[in-house]
Chains A and B, each alone.
Chain A
Amino acid sequence: MFKQFTEHIDGNQVYLLFSLFIFPVFFIVVTLLLLRLRKQHVDYMSDIPLNDCTETDIKLSKP
């Protein structure tokens, strides 16, 4: 049944292969960029939600 479609769409294999190709490339690029992130920055970003800057937080942070 599906033969009729694959025979009638020009370049369908290109679509399939191109689609499958771009994700690994994208994934590898993001991973490489991540590996280059500095630990200091990562720690800073991870802590952002823990400080709301409300009065309670401010009181807690004072010695």
Chain B
Amino acid sequence: MQPDKFYYDNKIVRNFGIATVIWGIIGMLVGLIIAIQLYQPAMNMHNQYTTFGRIRPLHTNAVIFAFVGNAIFMGIYYSLQRLMKTRMYRDVLSKLHFWGWQLIIVSAVITLPLGMTTSHEYAELEWPIDILITIVWVVFGINMFGTIIKRRERHIYVAVWFYIATFVTIAVLHIVNSVELPVSFTKSYMVFAGVQDALVQWWYGHNAVAFFLTTPYLGMMYYFLPKMANRPIYSYKLSILHFWALIFIYIWAGPHHLLYTTLPGWAQSLGVVFSIMLLAPSWGGMINGLLTLRGAWDKVRDDVTLKFMVVGLTAYGMATFEGPMLSLKQVNAIGHFTDWIIAHVHVGALGWNGFLTFAILYWLIPRIYKTELYSKKMASFHFWIGTLGILFYAIPMYISGFTQGLMWKEFTPEGILRYPNFLETTMRILPMHVMRSVGGAMYLTGVIVMAVNLYKTAAQGKLVANEAAEAMPLEKVNAHAGTERWHRRLERKPILFMIGSLIVILIGTFIELMPTLTISSNIPTIASVKPYTPLELQGRDLYIREGCSNCHSQTIRPFRSETERYGEYSKAGEFVYDHPFLWGSKRTGPDLQREGGKYGDSWHYNHLMDPRLMSPGSIMPEYSWLIHQKLDTTTTPAKIRAMQVLGVPYPAGYDKLANQDLDKQAKGIADNLAKDKIRVKSNKEIIAIIAYLQRLGTDIKANKTANNN
């Protein structure tokens, strides 16, 4: 039998590589800008479109889905063809995938600064973009499975299992977390509310880390590390165990993002236990990677790609040790809502995702251009400034996190909060924020140096767009099928493999999500909790538009330090009309769940106009545009109708009357402000947001005798 001659498609790999570098620089630059805004609010240039709440999601989306996303596709398109010994299934699908993905990113760049957001972290994009993501993901899936099916290598290497698990799990996560009811082309409400919405979101959020930032990178590690070290993976058996254990356990761990909230306690406990178990497969993978270099450590001294790999794997090990530790309730009580989490995330993102991406780029670009790397010195400089950048980023954030967590909880011997003014704790950590932005700038400098180095490398070589290869075609196997081992058989059947992976991740998903979503007694209702008034509902949507939940939580944990500072701890029944939930995950500013009635309307007006008028030294941006912009009340009827569909008990036909009530309430607030000599028309946005802020948490305050049903 003659071998088949065919060509690998390197052009698509190159295109994803270019997109990785460009979006990486943009995403990190936005990150640097918002980092500076946290000690220099004027860095928003007094512009609503560049204010923290709106562009923090732009940073996270850009680095996760644009930088890491394109890097994943670069790595998969390069390795999958070679592992399957065939070209990608269809060139047209590859191109559709590439341009479709870039279109999604451009849509995010346009819509997020405009304030079009669902407010679900890492899933902020509105419903039309969600549909586009689904279509592009299906295109990617068809292309990937088509390639696997037409392969010339009978057995599917472990890297490809990780790619398959990534594909199927991200599809499930994206669909479930995007179940939303459109109100208009640019606005939707989440179908789930309150606790249920929080559980779905963090099941998604945690597993986005697992199946977008981890499993595809592990797949790439299992392919590229042996290539770079020119030796097989340390233990293939360990890689199988690593794979199945990792995808099984990861899916359960989401509730550790919701410890001490109103999520049912048993679901929290489940999340903690599985988070601790997760340490084993995570470290199994890291050890398997590092031990692949046994006997080749001398190469690490000279080879910059291996240097990046080693630090990347070490960062993975550190982050996956810290994750289970942070999921312990006692540790989480201090770490949650603080900069500790920011440090944790960035050790993983900058170290693991960033450094693995750089290693692959440095290894891959010279190969597809059939040349040598332009400058090893520049690459070495990138390695060192990147590593130092991570340290300069992470260490101040750890110090800042511990400081915040402990200051928030400190009592005097007399039993009162030592730092009752939240701002005092913020001011204390500002030097750390300055240091962090220096670290970020160093890391970004390294990436820019890499971009120049790779550009020069490409310029001195010539892209081998179609790389010739030859391999024997596959023969049919029937003879010894019955005697084959179980996993060996599975390795030949990609669809069966996908179904197996799907079953494994669905076990955890169902057991964890279904009781909270279906058993009503998990969410005790409270008689005094009423739906938002139309003005409050509009104000809430402005709160979402401005991304307030990026800095302010709305959930008070049952600690004395929190009830003293913020008021009565949160109850599940308080959130039943919250589509979406707005608990937040970070307290750059104080919790707002009991904000209603704490201050007068004029305080909120002045505070939003210029926070430093009311709180000298505050790092909150000003929201002066809310004073000038007119509230769009044409959307009120549609919003009321949408809420009715979702089960919020507005009376029948209320959509037609809602704006009358809205005007009446708005006029009341405007009159109230006028008493304090603040002249503002009742149709301005600031009136609606004041209405919402004054409502927060008052249902419980209003009726102390309310009982849980």
Q: Which chain A residues have a beta carbon within 8 Å of chain B's beta carbons?
A: 1-2, 4-6, 8-10, 12-13, 15-16, 18-20, 22-23, 26-27, 30-31, 33-34, 36-38, 41-50, 52-55, 58
Docked CA distance A1–B265 (Å): 9
Who on chain B is nearest to A13 by CB? B266
A-B contact pairs, 16 of them (CB 8 A): A1-B558, A1-B569, A8-B524, A16-B270, A19-B252, A19-B274, A19-B511, A20-B273, A27-B241, A37-B237, A43-B232, A47-B232, A48-B153, A53-B82, A53-B85, A54-B467
Whether a CB of chain A sits under 8 angstroms from the CB of B158 is yes
Contacts of A58 in B (CB 8 A): 470
Nearest 3 CB-CB pairings of A with B: A2-B265, A46-B232, A8-B521
Contacts of A9 in B (CB 8 A): 264, 266, 515, 519, 521-522
Given contacts A42-B237, A54-B8, contact A37 B83 (CB under 8 A): no
Docked CA distance A57–B248 (Å): 37
Of A18, A23, A46, the contact of B248 (CB 8 Å cutoff) = A23
- Residues 269-281 of B, flagged 1 when their CB comes within 8 A of A and 0 if not, give 1100110010000
Given contacts A41-B485, A49-B227, contact A6 B265 (CB under 8 A): yes
Q: Is the CB of A30 within 8 A of B241?
A: yes
Q: Is the CB of A16 within 8 A of B155?
A: no
Docked CA distance A46–B288 (Å): 12
Given contacts A6-B265, A26-B244, contact A37 B82 (CB under 8 A): no
Q: How many residues of B contact A (CB 8 A)?
A: 59
Whether a CB of chain A sits under 8 angstroms from the CB of B193 is no
Chain A binding surface, main DSSP class:
helix
Q: Is the CB of A33 within 8 A of B270?
A: no
Whether a CB of chain A sits under 8 angstroms from the CB of B157 is yes
Contacts of A47 in B (CB 8 A): 232
Q: Is the CB of A31 within 8 A of B241?
A: yes
Given contacts A38-B485, A42-B236, A55-B469, contact A22 B227 (CB under 8 A): no
Docked CA distance A42–B491 (Å): 12
Contacts of A43 in B (CB 8 A): 232
Contacts of B85 in A (CB 8 A): 53
Of A8, A16, A33, the contact of B269 (CB 8 Å cutoff) = A16
Contacts of B153 in A (CB 8 A): 48
Q: Is the CB of A50 within 8 A of B230?
A: yes
Contacts of A23 in B (CB 8 A): 248-249, 274, 277
Q: Is the CB of B487 within 8 A of A34?
A: yes
Docked CA distance A43–B266 (Å): 44
Q: Is the CB of B524 within 8 A of A4?
A: yes
Who on chain A is nearest to B8 by CB? A54
Q: Is the CB of A36 within 8 A of B485?
A: yes
Give, as a whole number of angstroms, the nearest-CB distance from B236 to chain A.
5
Contacts of A8 in B (CB 8 A): 521-522, 524
- Residues 143-183 of B, flagged 1 when their CB comes within 8 A of A and 0 if not, give 00000000011010111000000000000000000000000
Whether a CB of chain A sits under 8 angstroms from the CB of B708 is yes
Give, as a whole number of angstroms, the nearest-CB distance from B77 to chain A.
14
| Besides A5-B264, A9-B266, 6 other A-B contacts (C-beta < 8 A) | A6-B266, A15-B266, A30-B245, A34-B237, A49-B232, A49-B233
Of B223, B270, B468, B485, the contact of A37 (CB 8 Å cutoff) = B485
Given contacts A31-B241, A47-B232, contact A53 B222 (CB under 8 A): no
Q: Is the CB of A30 within 8 A of B488?
A: no
Who on chain A is nearest to B152 by CB? A53
Q: Is the CB of B264 within 8 A of A49?
A: no
Give, as a whole number of angstroms, the nearest-CB distance from A37 to chain B.
6
Contacts of A42 in B (CB 8 A): 236-237
Docked CA distance A55–B273 (Å): 50
Whether a CB of chain A sits under 8 angstroms from the CB of B678 is no
Contacts of A46 in B (CB 8 A): 226, 232-233, 236
Q: Is the CB of A49 within 8 A of B226?
A: yes
Contacts of A54 in B (CB 8 A): 8, 82, 467-469
Who on chain B is nearest to A35 by CB? B237
Docked CA distance A44–B249 (Å): 28
Give, as a whole number of angstroms, the nearest-CB distance from B646 to chain A.
23
Contacts of A45 in B (CB 8 A): 155, 157-158, 236, 491
Docked CA distance A13–B201 (Å): 24
Docked CA distance A10–B519 (Å): 9
Whether a CB of chain A sits under 8 angstroms from the CB of B529 is no
Docked CA distance A10–B227 (Å): 53
Give, as a whole number of angstroms, the nearest-CB distance from A32 to chain B.
10
Contacts of A37 in B (CB 8 A): 237, 485, 487-488
Give, as a whole number of angstroms, the nearest-CB distance from A2 to chain B.
3
Q: Is the CB of B159 within 8 A of A49?
A: yes
Docked CA distance A22–B251 (Å): 14
Docked CA distance A33–B593 (Å): 52
Contacts of B524 in A (CB 8 A): 4, 8
Give, as a whole number of angstroms, the nearest-CB distance from B169 to chain A.
17
Give, as a whole number of angstroms, the nearest-CB distance from B506 to chain A.
12
Give, as a whole number of angstroms, the nearest-CB distance from B308 to chain A.
18
Of B249, B269, B469, the contact of A52 (CB 8 Å cutoff) = B469
Docked CA distance A41–B319 (Å): 33
Contacts of B227 in A (CB 8 A): 49-50
Docked CA distance A38–B159 (Å): 20
Give, as a whole number of angstroms, the nearest-CB distance from A52 to chain B.
4
